[in-house]
């Protein structure tokens, strides 16, 4: 794998490729690419965003791609309030199993509200408010994440179309509106739905944020993967899980 950016790519309007290296992981050898946003935006913990690339992705259509937002509390400190660490690990495992794919790791902590506001919201949750009400009490949106870097990052790798690894229908819609050819959605399910500390958040996310999962045929416990191509008729059930690749 080369650590140099393709010379054919001009400077992008929002971000530039900055560096890369081979990175051995428990799921195999990934190549870690760092992109730097030109201007900081509110809610981002850093202007540096990451693409974890597995295998030969250049020019490959319908590439499995996970767009994942940073979650320090779960991924670094093992918080049980969400399952972001589990889902990131599962996504890496699935990408490696497919032989090629990309995980875009965006530095937008707390569904885009930033770490300070996320911890303030956690404190309100400890007083009995749910995750959505806590955001609203702070005058913050339910979900402030944006995905405008995604088309530029995918363009850097010459990826013409993707299969999005997510159970969040709004994420797929936002990406399509940004010009990303999302030709299908890969719903993935981990094994953390029954963690007692997550059950209340599970119910809130299911009922208010409406992340979805094809529960009628595939159940809630896995891990399982199912590809839902655009235009395919399939009955969806409401997610009974905390985050389920919605993060």
CA separation for the pair 120, 187 (Å, rounded): 31
Q: How confident is the model at residue 11, as a pLDDT?
A: 53
* pLDDT, position 39: 84
pLDDT tens, position by position, 119-128 = 999 999 889 8
End-to-end CA distance of the chain: 29
Catalytic, 212? Answer: no
Q: How confident is the model at residue 186 (pLDDT cuts 50, 70, 90)?
A: confident
Rounded CA gap, 27 and 99, in Å? Answer: 11
Mean pLDDT of 115-119: 94
Q: Are 97 and 165 in contact (CB under 8 A)?
A: no
Q: Which residues contact 119 (CB under 8 A, 6 or more apart)?
A: none
For the chain, the average pLDDT equals 79
Q: Which residues pair with 37 in a beta bridge?
A: 15
Q: Quick one: 230 exposed, middle or buried, by C-beta within 10 A (0-12, 13-18, 19+)?
A: exposed
User: Which of 18-32, 136-150, 164-178, 208-222 comes out lowest in average pLDDT?
Assistant: 208-222
Q: Which pLDDT tens digit goes with each residue over 80-112? A: 888 889 889 999 999 999 999 999 999 999 889
Confidence class of residue 28 from pLDDT cuts 50, 70 and 90?
very high
Q: Which of 66, 143, 198, 212 is catalytic?
A: 143
Give the pLDDT score at 46.
78
| Whole-prediction pTM | 0.79
68-80 pLDDT tens trace: 999 999 999 998 8
Residue 131 — pLDDT band, cuts 50, 70, 90? confident
| Whether residue 143 lies in the annotated active site | yes
Q: What angle do CA 102, 106, 81 make, to 5 degrees?
A: 105
- Residue holding tokens 């020019």? 59
The per-residue pLDDT for 42 is 75
pLDDT at 48: 93
pLDDT of res. 105: 97
Give me the long-range contacts of 172-176 (CB less than 8 A, separation at least 24): 174/146, 174/147, 175/67, 175/147, 175/150, 175/151
Contact of 227 with 163, CB cutoff 8 Å: yes
Candidates 145, 212, 216, 240; catalytic one:
145
Q: What is the mean pLDDT of residues 129-134?
A: 85
Over residues 54-67, the pLDDT tens digits come to 999 999 999 999 99
Residue 15 CA to residue 27 CA, distance in Å, equals: 28
Q: Band the pLDDT of 226: cuts 50, 70, 90.
A: very low
Asked whether 106 and 70 are in contact (CB, 8 A), the reply is yes
Query: For 46, how many CA atoms within 13 A lie in the half-sphere containing its CB?
Result: 13
Distances, alpha carbon 116 to alpha carbons 72, 156, 203, in Å: 12, 32, 24
Question: Percent of the chain at pLDDT above 90?
Answer: 53
* Nearest residue to 144 (alpha-carbon basis) of 131, 153, 135: 135
Residue found by looking up tokens 């936002």 in the block: 174
The residue to which tokens 């030109």 are assigned: 38
**pLDDT confidence of residue 33:** 97
């Amino acid at each position: 794998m080369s650590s140099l950016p393709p010379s054919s790519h001009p400077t992008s309007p929002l971000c530039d490729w900055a560096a890369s290296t081979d990175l051995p992981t428990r799921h195999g050898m990934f190549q870690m690419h760092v992109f730097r946003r030109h201007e900081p935006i509110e809610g981002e913990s850093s202007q540096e965003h990451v693409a974890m690339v597995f295998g030969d992705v250049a020019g490959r259509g319908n590439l499995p791609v996970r767009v994942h937002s940073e979650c320090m509390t779960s991924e670094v400190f093992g918080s049980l309030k969400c399952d972001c660490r589990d889902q990131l690990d599962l996504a890496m495992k699935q990408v490696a199993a497919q032989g090629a794919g990309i995980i875009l790791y965006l530095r937008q902590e707390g569904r885009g509200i930033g770490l300070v506001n996320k911890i303030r919201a956690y404190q309100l949750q400890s007083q009995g408010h749910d995750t959505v009400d806590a955001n609203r009490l702070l005058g913050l949106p339910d979900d402030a994440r944006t995905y405008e870097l995604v088309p530029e990052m995918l363009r850097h790798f010459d990826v013409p179309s993707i299969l999005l690894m997510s159970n969040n229908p709004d994420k797929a819609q936002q990406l399509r509106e940004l010009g990303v050819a999302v030709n299908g959605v890969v719903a993935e399910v981990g094994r953390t739905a029954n963690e007692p500390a997550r059950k209340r958040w599970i119910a809130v996310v299911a009922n208010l944020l409406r992340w979805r999962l094809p529960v009628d045929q595939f159940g809630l416990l896995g891990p399982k993967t199912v590809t839902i191509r655009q235009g395919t008729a399939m009955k969806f059930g409401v997610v009974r899980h905390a985050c389920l690749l919605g993060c």
